[in-house]
Amino acid sequence: MADEGEKKGQEEDLSPDIKDWSKNQVRQWALELKSVDDAVAQILFQQDINGPSLLLLDAGDLIAMGVTFGPAKLIIHARDELVKLKKEEPASFRNQPGRPCKPYPFYRYHDTYRYMESSILDITESGASDFVEPCHEYKGFTNTTDETKMSKFTDEVIRFAAACMNSRTNGTIHFGVGDKPQFTHGQVLGVVVEDKEAYANELKSAIDGYFEFKHKQDAQMCIKPPRFVGVLNKNMTSSDKCVIEVDIVPESVICGENIYHTFNMDTKKAKKKEKGKEDKSETKPSKQFFIRDGGSSRNLLAPTTSAKPMEEYNRFVDSVAQRSQLRKQAEEKHLSVIKNSNQGSRLSQLITGGSLSLDKSHFERYVIVTNKSHSIQLESVGFLVELDPTAVLDFDPESAQCGLQSYFEQTNTVSVHLPSQYKFTEGIEDIADKLKLTRNTSWVLCNGGIKDEVPSDIDQWLMDKGASIRDVISFLCRKDVLPNKRFLVIFLLFSTVSEQMDPLIETFSTFWQELRGTEQILCICDNEKAFTSWKDLIKARCGNDISDRCIYELNFAEVNGTILSLWSENRKSQRFLPGDGRSKVLLEKKVERSLNTLEILCMNQCEGGNEDKIPIEENFYKGEKVSWWNFYFSEQPGSTPFIKRDKFDFIMNTVIPDLCSLRKACVLFNLMHVPGCGGTTLAMHTLWAHRDRFRCAILRDSNADFVEVADHVVKLLTHDHGEQLPRVPVLLMIDDFEDMDKVNDLQLLIEKECVKKNIQCKSAQVILLNCMRAESSEVTESTDTVFIGNDLSEGEQKQFEQKLVEIEKTHKNADTFYGFMIMKKNFKPEYIQGVVHNTLKSFNINQKHAQLLAVLVLLNVYCKRSSLSVSLCEEFLGLQPKPVCGTAKVEEGFGKFSTLISSSSVESKVVHKAVKMIHSSIARQCLQELTTTHNVSKADITDLLLTTDKLYESTQGKHKLLQDVHHIMVKRIYSVEDSKFSPLIQEIASETPGQEEMILLSASKRFDKDAVISQLVARYYYLKKKNFTEAKLWARSARDLSKDSSYMADTSAQVIKHELKNAIANCKEEPMPHEKLSMFLKVAQSAIDAFKETQSLAKKESSLRLQTKRDNCPFNTAGCLGEIQVGVLVIDLLQKTPVFSSENVRHDILSKVLSGDIKLQDVERCDRRQHKHRSYYIILRHFEDLLYSLKFRMKMNFDFLEKFHVNLGSRSGMKDSREQVVQNELFRCFQQYANLFCKTDSASLLKNKTMWNMLKVHEARQFLERQKADTYSGILNCLSNNTWAENLEKIIKLYDFIRPSGHTVKERINYIYANVVLSRIKLESQCILPFPKLFDLLRQVMQEQIPLSENLPAMFIAVVLFWPQENCPVYTSLGNYISQMETSYHATMKEVYNGKRPIVHFFLGKKRGYERLVHLREMKRCSMVQEGQFVSMWENGSLWEDKKVQQLLCRVTGEVKGKFIMADTCEPGLKLKVIPMFRSQLSGTTERSKVSFFIGFSMKGPVALDININ
């Protein structure tokens, strides 16, 4: 029985399966049940109840054995609960051990270590070793019920604690860790704990109950509170389980030489029954003395059969003094090995590359690799937000819910990515651009946790996800993605890595291979055990000792503080924007970084910074772009003020205030400047001076997505305004746009975004400061346009001289400050020539750095924003950068030419550092110097640029370089002459004739997949070389590369057209041989078919643009014009044939044939020379379809283009002056068309009076067509092209003349238009129909059946003339006319109005009759400003502030209804729909708000201008 008692004291874990229990194990289970006497357990034992029979018992069976009813019910309930528990137990616990792992750090409570399900603790259950190293004991804790688990927990802890205290050894007992035979020894199982506090309370009570009173205090101090270590699932996700651990620390100062007995206090263990009395429970405490004996705790006072039962106990007690002394020595030894750490300074060195300042870190980018984090650790990772990592490779599948990503997103913006998004599926920089890799932190979830990605177990991760992570790492380590040797990979080990198969080991190995070593790798963990495990695993995998790349003696709080201390105060300080009433608004980092298309200038910009003044000023004076620091330094005590240009005060005091007063959401201010004259500096100076009154920002990249830019601008505008309307406007600087269309696109999108956000625009909300280069001083200044030239005023020169005095005092190398000196010398060519000549004396084109300079010069001259990336220069020059500070700068690689270049950051698909020429004047002079002095032509440099493969290898900025090279080859300067080639190609052709062909062919090889380059080569061959065979091949290539492009189709058509034109011009034979006629007509047919295809593709493109609403490119009219030009060539061709070349009659016959009025067989039958001309007629009949429809097709295209140009203008609603080239060509073609189709040469042959009258009517109609007065659009155009009143009077007379013969509806509508237009040119003309009669005529027309083709002009003129006025009939159907006009407009113009705005033909004036209609020319006349200024006033809305204009126009009232206005009229109850010209002027208004406005009439409907909210 003594042995049984010892067994009971040393309980074993029961088998997990009840079926396997023996009768002893059943008794053991019953003894553990509360409220069940030991006698019941003995009955079960005596009845041989084992596991299988226990499962079959019911309460009746137990009662039959002699168990009373109460205990019987308790036993059955406990058994059923246990069966249920076993069923719910995960199958993964059953003999599926995992990999080895370390126990939780001893005597620590706030470590973030967690166990993984089924992993194996790699330390066996043990006894005392060196007293300090803890021993361990494992308890599965799986076969306990709710009734028994707490007593089992306290019993086991007390027994283990007493043993450790007596043995003087540290120790940890683990609950939820299995042992043999049911589990692998040390297998992590975990237990579910609902009330952690209960365990701590029960243990505290148990200590008081089990230990002797005198030792209770010692025990409370040595037995630490329970620790609950989380258990992760195998796929790294959290579970609801934990391992309960209790640490025992018998410190020598507490325990001294004490010995610790415990008592068995279980009142159940002995029962005393007295006959005739109630049962009483009696406590029989039994004294125990536990020691550690191997892997278990043994009671030396347990009953034994030994002859000397107390001998071992006494011997142990005698050794306690010695044990205490050994314990004390062990503690002292342990403390002595804790050394002072120097890892703080080492961390500073490693993370900055040796600069010891993150503001000036050698590393431009940081990549973080991390694993499972703990909430405690997240309190100390603020440094990550400041580092703003390029990418984070996160292996925690729960990071987004409760991990690092969740924390990081609170203060920063991230783009969450799957590893598969890094796969090489397209161009590298295109992928980087889509990922926004250098703009937002790319958060790569490497083990699920996103979308449908399921986390993988460690064993499966390599197979499931390893390949995709290798793709991510390979991508990030490419030289064209992140800067070579200038980015650092930081392994942030939140959790201990203890397995060789851990994903982080594979990740480290891949980075190590890609980076060819560990110089760009830093590992951070917060304890030595984690470091040792990591170091050993890396050593085993890679063979490298990474100790010198690891930080492990600092906790994360110390790491955080150390890294944050490496930033300047300016970088860490809060940034502010101006708010209402001169208040300040905090700009949080997350908000600022989310607006990544903008560089935001804050009110406290630069304050608290520690930037070095000298190098910053030197870079600026040498020619680099000005920085905010330059303005800041100039305001500090002891500095002379920043140089103010003469226009600065004008901009500050006049331009900006005037723009602010305009009632438009987004207004434009153009700062035009000659390159290199300080235009960008003046623009930034303007922003700096306004930073406390406006929310100032600079657009980072002119190629950014403008929809996103508009969104960011409006977010900046509305930041921290809550529900209030924004009161602080945004001043946004945009720099170096080459095309005003792009500026207008951005302005329009910002307007739309303001409308979308319902921002009320009582004044300008966004001012676009467009800083744009102008090649000449021929710029018209206006209210919103200022020009800065390269000629300083006397005042400006004086400021430069004063500044030079200051510079020479503080800078030793002022002679190399070329940017400053060029301006100081007032741009004198002699100074620039001298600098360049002296610097390039040693130039040798065979040297690498000379070649690179030549390329940079060429690019800078022909592409203003060009540059070469630093990484490209390093590769080309053979420089070997290292990942530490102090390595050679790229400028040094240029040798003596380094004074001509500078480096800066470039915004592209991948943001990178690049070098460029310091000044545009220097670049131009360098190119000239290379040609004249060093015999290096533009062709030589261009050939070098195109054929040197080394320039296009995988380096940063490759896409930008290709873009710039493409630009200098393709970009034309459009003028009236319509240049066909870029300035570079034209100058090469002029300087070295013939070499331009070689250059173009080299370009086609470099851009072998580029349709535009193939198009360019085709254009060269058909325009310059007249080699149409070769041109067709290149045009075909362009079509193949861009099948759906109307522009490529047009090139194919142009080749054929020019082939025809050239062939006809070279045919000198008279008359033209019939063989050539056949060939020419075939070519003409091919050209027309090609131009028709161009038209078809243009319509498809336009429809697609309307659907996407992202592309404002206008309709491509080249196909229409091209078909007209071919028609003119065919007319010219036919007039050279004998069939149509002689006599006036032949001219008329040709006209009728091409009109389809006469058949060729009829002409042949009447031809007196038909036999001689027979071969011609045979050929002509073969092309009947072409010939009979020629006039119809030409007229259709003329009318189409007329409607297009007359009714649609620029996006501001004005006519587009840049279309003059097309208009001039159309005029030429129409003259030839009119010479054939709009006159009759055989009129003198007619004698019959009736025929004569018919001829006169015909001639009248021909005259109208010749004057383009046969269409409403042609008549309307008379208002714009300064048609003489006499012409219009004749037009009206001719319409009167042909009336008796029967006016068509179209002719009557045209007649009405002619009267209206003449009234606006010469109101006193006697030819004008009195207004009431015109009114009646229009009323009659509107009552007739109007053809669909005439519906739009009819509805337009009806709305214009019927607009209600006093003492005139009111048409209640006017609202229907407006609705029909809108419908007709969309039906007629939908294919062509993309990127255009309908032109306002008339405005509603204050007078009556004809005078009520005000045309734009009248407004120009009364405003008395130049054309350019008038356009500017129209576009920015300042025109409506002109008093004379206000006197001219009628201001109308109305009320808002949704997206439009219902205008009041003189007729009570009649309100008419009016569309706002600028929707933003209605933003912020509520339904039925009262407004006033001017009315303009466009083909789309009446429009409201200058809307005032009443």
Residues 974-997 have pLDDT tens digits of 654 557 899 999 999 999 999 999
- 1138 CB contacts (<8 Å, ≥6 apart)? 1071, 1169, 1172, 1173, 1176
- 1144-1156: string of b/e by CB count within 10 Å (b at 16+)? eebbbbbbbbbbe
Residue in the block written with tokens 């603020």: 382
Q: Tell which phi-psi region holds residue 1130, choosing left (phi > 0), alpha (psi between -120 and 50) or beta.
A: alpha
Q: In the structure, what pLDDT confidence band is assigned to residue 265 with cuts at 50, 70 and 90? A: low
- pLDDT value for 487: 93
Mean pLDDT value of segment 1357-1377: 87
Lookup: tokens for 450: 């996103």
- pLDDT value for 236: 77
- pLDDT value for 128: 67
Rounded-to-integer distance, Cα 819 and Cα 678, Å = 9
Choose the weakest-confidence range: 1131-1135, 1271-1275, 1464-1468.
Answer: 1464-1468
φ, ψ (nearest 5 deg) of residue 1073: -60, 145
Determine the 3-state secondary structure of 456 from DSSP: coil
Determine the 3-state secondary structure of 1329 from DSSP: coil
Q: How many CB atoms lie within 10 A of CB 277?
A: 8
Angle subtended at Cα 1506 by Cα 1503 and Cα 1510, rounded to the nearest 5 degrees? 110
- pLDDT value for 703: 85
- pLDDT value for 1419: 87
Q: What is the DSSP string of 864-913?
A: TT--EEHHHHHHHHT----SSTTSPPGGGGGGGGGGGEEEEEE-SSS-EE
Choose the weakest-confidence range: 699-713, 1186-1200, 1299-1313.
Answer: 1299-1313
- pLDDT value for 1: 34
Question: Looking at the predicted structure, is the pLDDT value of residue 1417 above 90?
Answer: no
Residues 569-588 have pLDDT tens digits of 777 778 899 988 778 889 98
Residue 1043 near residue 1033, CB atoms below 8 Å: no
- 567 CB contacts (<8 Å, ≥6 apart)? 357, 358, 359, 386
Taking the CA atoms of 494, 498, 504 and 508 in sequence, report the sign of the dihedral they define.
Answer: positive
Rounded-to-integer distance, Cα 1357 and Cα 1377, Å = 10
Residue 1067 near residue 1077, CB atoms below 8 Å: no
Rounded-to-integer distance, Cα 1432 and Cα 1448, Å = 19
φ, ψ (nearest 5 deg) of residue 232: -90, 150
Question: Looking at the predicted structure, is the pLDDT value of residue 270 above 70?
Answer: no
Question: Looking at the predicted structure, is the pLDDT value of residue 472 above 90?
Answer: yes
- pLDDT value for 1252: 65
Choose the weakest-confidence range: 341-350, 873-882, 972-981, 1038-1047.
Answer: 972-981
pLDDT above 70 covers what percent of the chain? 92
Greatest mean pLDDT among 354-363, 556-565, 1037-1046, 1231-1240 lies in 1037-1046
Question: Looking at the predicted structure, is the pLDDT value of residue 1044 above 70?
Answer: yes
Rounded-to-integer distance, Cα 92 and Cα 96, Å = 6
- pLDDT value for 394: 94
Determine the 3-state secondary structure of 842 from DSSP: coil
Mean pLDDT value of segment 955-973: 90
Choice between 1362 and 1145, residue whose per-residue pLDDT is larger: 1362
- pLDDT value for 1432: 77
Question: Looking at the predicted structure, is the pLDDT value of residue 665 above 60?
Answer: yes
Q: How many CB atoms lie within 10 A of CB 1238?
A: 20
Mean pLDDT value of segment 864-890: 82
- pLDDT value for 778: 62
- pLDDT value for 336: 59
Question: Looking at the predicted structure, is the pLDDT value of residue 66 above 70?
Answer: yes
Cis peptide before 1332 (omega within 30 of 0): no
Q: In the structure, what pLDDT confidence band is assigned to residue 266 with cuts at 50, 70 and 90? A: low
Residue 157 near residue 220, CB atoms below 8 Å: no
Average of per-residue pLDDT values in the chain? 86
Strands (E), 371-503: 391-394, 414-417, 441-445, 487-492
Lookup: tokens for 1021: 């061959």
Judging by beta carbons within 10 Å of its beta carbon (0-12, 13-18, 19+), is residue 464 exposed, middle or buried? middle
Residue 166 near residue 259, CB atoms below 8 Å: yes
- pLDDT value for 277: 39
Q: Which of 791, 785, 796 is nearest to 651 (CA)?
A: 785
Determine the 3-state secondary structure of 392 from DSSP: strand
Rounded-to-integer distance, Cα 791 and Cα 793, Å = 7
Rounded-to-integer distance, Cα 917 and Cα 902, Å = 6
Three-class SS of 71-119: HHHHHHHHHHHHHHHHHHCCHHHCCCCCCEECCCCCCCCCCCCCEECCC
- pLDDT value for 1306: 92
Choose the weakest-confidence range: 491-500, 689-698, 993-1002.
Answer: 491-500
Residues 197-219 have pLDDT tens digits of 899 999 999 998 899 999 999 99
Residues 609-651 have pLDDT tens digits of 767 888 888 888 888 889 999 999 988 887 888 888 888 999 9
Cis peptide before 181 (omega within 30 of 0): yes
- pLDDT value for 986: 93
Question: Looking at the predicted structure, is the pLDDT value of residue 9 above 50?
Answer: no
Mean pLDDT value of segment 1199-1209: 89
Q: In the structure, what pLDDT confidence band is assigned to residue 793 with cuts at 50, 70 and 90? A: confident
Rounded-to-integer distance, Cα 850 and Cα 501, Å = 52
Four-CA torsion 672, 674, 676, 678, nearest 10 degrees: -40
Q: What is the DSSP string of 1422-1470?
A: HHT--HHHHHHHHHHTGGGG-HHHHHHBPEEEEEEETTEEEEE-SSTT-
Residue 818 near residue 917, CB atoms below 8 Å: no
- pLDDT value for 4: 39
Question: Looking at the predicted structure, is the pLDDT value of residue 663 above 50?
Answer: yes
Rounded-to-integer distance, Cα 868 and Cα 951, Å = 9
- 1486 CB contacts (<8 Å, ≥6 apart)? 1456
Question: Looking at the predicted structure, is the pLDDT value of residue 281 above 50?
Answer: no
Question: Looking at the predicted structure, is the pLDDT value of residue 273 above 80?
Answer: no
Question: Looking at the predicted structure, is the pLDDT value of residue 2 above 50?
Answer: no
Question: Looking at the predicted structure, is the pLDDT value of residue 1221 above 80?
Answer: no
Residue in the block written with tokens 């003409």: 1084
What is the H or E stretch that residue 228 is in?
strand 227-232
Residues 241-264 have pLDDT tens digits of 999 999 999 988 889 899 999 987
Q: What is the DSSP letter of 59?
A: H
Greatest mean pLDDT among 496-500, 938-942, 1291-1295, 1304-1308 lies in 938-942
pLDDT above 90 covers what percent of the chain? 42
Determine the 3-state secondary structure of 1209 from DSSP: strand
Question: Looking at the predicted structure, is the pLDDT value of residue 1091 above 90?
Answer: yes
- 1387 CB contacts (<8 Å, ≥6 apart)? none
Q: What is the DSSP string of 980-1032?
A: SS-HHHHHHHHHSTTHHHHHHHHHHHHTTT-HHHHHHHHHHIIIII--HHHHH
What is the H or E stretch that residue 925 is in?
helix 920-932
Q: In the structure, what pLDDT confidence band is assigned to residue 92 with cuts at 50, 70 and 90? A: very low
Question: Looking at the predicted structure, is the pLDDT value of residue 1315 above 80?
Answer: yes
Residue 1485 near residue 1456, CB atoms below 8 Å: yes
Q: In the structure, what pLDDT confidence band is assigned to residue 1359 with cuts at 50, 70 and 90? A: very high
Residues 1282-1314 have pLDDT tens digits of 788 899 999 999 998 888 777 889 999 999 999
Rounded-to-integer distance, Cα 170 and Cα 108, Å = 13
Q: What is the DSSP letter of 70?
A: H
Residue 1359 near residue 1502, CB atoms below 8 Å: yes
Choice between 1244 and 102, residue whose per-residue pLDDT is larger: 102
Bridging pattern class, strands 191-192 and 238-248:
antiparallel
Choose the weakest-confidence range: 491-505, 776-790, 1028-1042.
Answer: 776-790
What is the H or E stretch that residue 136 is in?
strand 135-139
Choice between 739 and 1021, residue whose per-residue pLDDT is larger: 1021
